[in-house]
Amino acid sequence: MRLQLMAALAAAALATAAQAAPARSDGLTPQQRAGRTIYLTGESPSGGGITASVGGDPSPVPGSVLPCASCHGEDGLGRPEGGALPSIVTWSELTRPGGHVHPNGRRHRPFDVRSAARAITDGLDPDGQPLDGVMPRYSISREDLDALLAWLRVLERQLDPGLTPKQLRLGTVLPEGGRLGEVGMAVRTTLQAAVKELNRDGGFNGRTVVLEVAGYDPLAGTAEAAARRLMADRPVFAFLSGFAPGDEGGLAAWAEAQKVPLVGLLSPFARAAGAPHWTFYVQPGLPELARVLVEHARGLPGLADPRAVVLRGEGTWQAGAEAAARRQAEQRGWRRVNAAIMGEDGPAKEEVARLAADGVEVVLFLGDDRALTGLLAGAAQAGWSPWILVPGPLAARAAAEAPASFDGRILLSFPSRPGGAEGEAGRALLARLDPGAGERHLSARAAAAEATAVLAEALRRTGRQLSRARLVTSLEALYQLETGLGPPVSYGPRRRVGAMGGYVVALDQARRSFRPVGGWLRLD
């Protein structure tokens, strides 16, 4: 009965193991490569037969029913099943000086090549004591046995970069020096404190988390170059958070090309080209924030189908946000939406006059503070006060300084709740991670802590059998994850934005500030 149970448990692991076998050049010798096949599949590349028997069961079964990886894992770190805890079979652990003490009290000397071979074929430890009854005894040719041992000696070197049996290295890319450096330092302090708490709680399945910081001067280098240097000097398993103003797209594209998970890049501008696979955004970006504004505005009186225009700059991110907003508008019945490209100083006075004469009621603005200041000045001069919708990260300062005629008529969307974390628990966490920070850079610190919480949950769900590919699968499975720092986070095979929505605020002219006009507006 036990043999049948183990065979059933092995089936799923065998399929996964076979799929995970590297397909590219791996630097292995032919013998090591053959040993890997035996370890993962229980089958002989040389054509010799491999069989396995367990406990007192006299009937051997094909080795493919009970491959080593089905219990010990592809990484050799053990895969608990049915109350059994298989041993770690990485070579450094097998040959550890001082030998081993097992949970049942059995002690023995370190393994060497000869005693490891005897354990595989006869089920005996280096001191001649029987191994646990659940450990199969294999009938295997000398050639295949030597190949399997050759693989065991290099097994732990096949883990993804930044991963060892005892350590998990994460990286982050942050600016140093100047105004951006202040934000970078705040994020760095938050991430380091969050990682310290993770390690205080035991890390992840015996692995201690190490945070490697790639700092760079935005005036002299790029975030992508900093990430490249870090990977060359101190390879990391995944990138966490990170702040790369102006370099977001390049950093995300590099992570995709290198197949390195990137979780929670702090920027609404970051989008990898094409459909991202390795990049997971915790907060919404400009396309989502533009859609949120359309979704909110359509509920305002008289805006069921308004005359609207999208004013944007020439950048690719503006074009992407425009396309997202226009799709949202079309889905919601806005049939009179046009678009125009403006210069760095905003639309020309003639363009403003034309829009006013055409009776445009809504302007979705995709530009910076300088361009918004130009638009507002031209509109005030023309006596034109349309609703102006602005993704908050673009031009909040200029919106706060708008002429009096725009009181209450400027709406901004933000990826996080104005004023910080979502709830009391989130605010308490931020205060604990950086007690002296107060309100400084609160949004960036909250986003960094939230990204850490998301990655930590995915790592917990992945378990000991950790790899970059498995981490991606665990991230994709997150649904309505509550972090206490923002709205619930969900991903999926074709979804890489965790919190799909935004918050909307309106200009309060009297206070020269913004007031919330609703809670989290969901797009999904």
Say how far apart CA 498 and CA 231 lie, in whole Å. 26
Per-residue 3-state assignment (H helix, E strand, C coil) for 406-459: HCCCEEEEECCCCCCCCCHHHHHHHHHHCCCCCCCCHHHHHHHHHHHHHHHHHH
Give DSSP secondary structure letters for 325-375.
HHHHHHHTT---EEEEE-BTTBS-HHHHHHHHHTT--EEEEES-HHHHHHH
CA angle 324, 238, 442 (to 5 degrees): 65
Say how far apart CA 438 and CA 339 lie, in whole Å. 42
Based on the number of CB atoms within 10 Å of its own CB, is 397 exposed (0-12), middle (13-18) or buried (19 or more)? exposed
Amino acid at site 356: A
User: Nearest to residue 53, comparing CAs of 7, 115, 16?
Assistant: 7
Say how far apart CA 522 and CA 204 lie, in whole Å. 33
Give DSSP secondary structure letters for 126-142.
TTSPBPPTTS-EEE--H
* Per-residue pLDDT, 62: 95
Between the two ends of the chain, the Cα-to-Cα distance in Å is: 47
Say how far apart CA 100 and CA 94 lie, in whole Å. 8
Q: Report residue 280: phi and psi, to 5°.
A: -125, 120
Q: Which two tokens stand for residue 518?
A: 């609703």
Instruction: Count CA atoms closer than 13 A to 416's CA, side-chain side.
Output: 27
Based on the number of CB atoms within 10 Å of its own CB, is 380 exposed (0-12), middle (13-18) or buried (19 or more)? middle
CA 172 to chain centre: 12
SS3 214: strand
Say how far apart CA 11 and CA 7 lie, in whole Å. 6
Q: Which residue has the tokens 């991606």?
A: 472
Q: Which residue has the tokens 């592809």?
A: 74
User: Nearest to residue 485, comparing CAs of 430, 437, 432, 522?
Assistant: 430
Domains in the chain with CATH codes: 2-158 (no CATH), 167-285+419-493 (3.40.50.2300), 286-414+504-522 (3.40.50.2300)
Beta-carbon contacts of 318 under 8 Å, excluding residues fewer than 6 positions away, are 286, 312, 366, 367
Residues in the chain: 524
According to DSSP, the β-strands at 61-62 and 100-101 are unpaired
Q: Which two tokens stand for residue 201?
A: 């709680």
The pTM of this model reads: 0.77
Q: Which two tokens stand for residue 140?
A: 């295997």
Amino acid at site 152: L
Collect the ranges in the chain with pLDDT lower than 70.
1-26, 56, 79-84, 270-274, 419-422
Neighbours of 7 (CB within 10 A): 18
Amino acid at site 419: G
SS3 316: helix
* Per-residue pLDDT, 513: 79
Q: Which residue has the tokens 């190949």?
A: 147
